[in-house]
Amino acid sequence: MPGESQIPIASAAMLAPKRFATSLALFYGAVFTLVGAQMPFFPVWLRAVGIDASWIGVIAAVPAVTRFTVLPFIAGLAEKRGSLHSALIVTAFMTALGFAAVGTQHQAILVFLAYAVTACVWTPIVPLTDAYALRGVVRYGLNYGPLRLWGSAAFVVGALACGLLVEVIEARQLIWVIAALAAIGAVVSLGLKPLDNPKPHPAALHGATALLRDGGFLVIILSSALIQGSHAAFYTFSSITWQLAGFGGLTIAALWVLGVLAEIVVFALSPRFTWPPSALVVIGALCAMLRWLLTAQEPSAVLLAAVQLLHGFSFGLTQLGTMGLLVRQVPLHTMARGQGYLAACSGIVGGGASILSGVIYARYGQGVYYVMAVMALSGAILMWSARRLLLEPRSADQPHNSASGG
């Protein structure tokens, strides 16, 4: 009899990781389907409603600004209340309402204001989801990369779907596609599984405030911000540039998809990587520098397609390395706050890069990518020079795990 009673318990224990992974994969998918539509085509919608390049640069910088103003507060609040699960549901529903509100505005200042409010609840979703994912990685012994790749795959779906729609609907209607995808994400968030709140180790009770005094942590977030922030000009102006060059909506979407397909491959193979996370970040930075130097040359469509494949390294390897470093450097009970600080630093750097890229692009066009290349190189130099600070795990309340695949 005792043996029989253990069977359902064992089965439930085996099913829990699968249920967590499935619900997380679906939510990552919903979140990044929205990103896949918004990132390439929101600037196209802005231009279609008559907003000029300078204003587009400013509006595009809004999410980055909220990352270092509102986002850390929301991450800290979610951590304090001990419910990442509830925070994700609330922000997902408010995001859907926000994008619907943005769609009702066409004047630059009104779009800016509506988008600013929306960004306050939208930008915390990815950092909170990553914090939720890393807790699950530790809790269930999973790999971060294979979980995260579903977000990348969904980005492809969002970009292709919007690219196809550009051919059959007016660009002025794209905002409603974006709003509808946000609403789908809100519904999917209801399927997320709650996680037990980690209990901090006595030695790590002050980990939240100690993070900003940890030189290794500061290196991680600043180097990541520089490398990922170097994508600002691409995210803001690539679709506009390609549209002006005569590329159709489907071609634009396909170019975005090529980069994300490379990213998916990197995430899928990540469990086999044996390099330390700091090395992944450095390699990602150098690939980003090469990517922007080539893009600045205004390459042909064929070469541009090849350049887009570097996204798997410039973004993918940097993301994997950063998450791998954070899960070793940051106590698990302060992971949401750590993700908030990372997003805040990325917001400061990325927001500045976005605004600057708008000014430079308006005057020098593709020459803006030389500035992006310098940013990426700076991130590589910083990580390489400070790598000895990151050799040992610093978290006092969590074991090693496979967040970076290594």
pLDDT in tens, 252-267: 878 888 888 898 999 9
Cα–chain center distance at 18: 23
Mean residue pLDDT across the chain: 84
In whole angstroms, give the CA distance from residue 371 to residue 364.
11
Angle at 271 between CA 191 and CA 306, to 5 degrees: 95
Which tens digit of pLDDT belongs to each residue from 97-128? Answer: 999 999 999 999 999 999 999 999 998 999 89
Helices 71-81, 335-364: inter-axial angle, 10-degree rounding: 170
Neighbour tally for 269: CB within 10 Å = 16
Which tens digit of pLDDT belongs to each residue from 334-369? Answer: 888 888 889 889 888 987 888 888 889 888 888 899
pLDDT value at 62 more than 60: yes
Phi, psi of 11 (to 5 degrees): -65, -40
What is the model's pTM? 0.72
Alpha carbon dihedral 370, 373, 379, 380, in 10-degree steps, equals -140
Helix (H, G, I), strand (E, B) or coil at 142: coil
In whole angstroms, give the CA distance from residue 55 to residue 57.
5
| Burial class, 30, CB count within 10 angstroms (exposed 0-12 / middle 13-18 / buried 19+) | buried
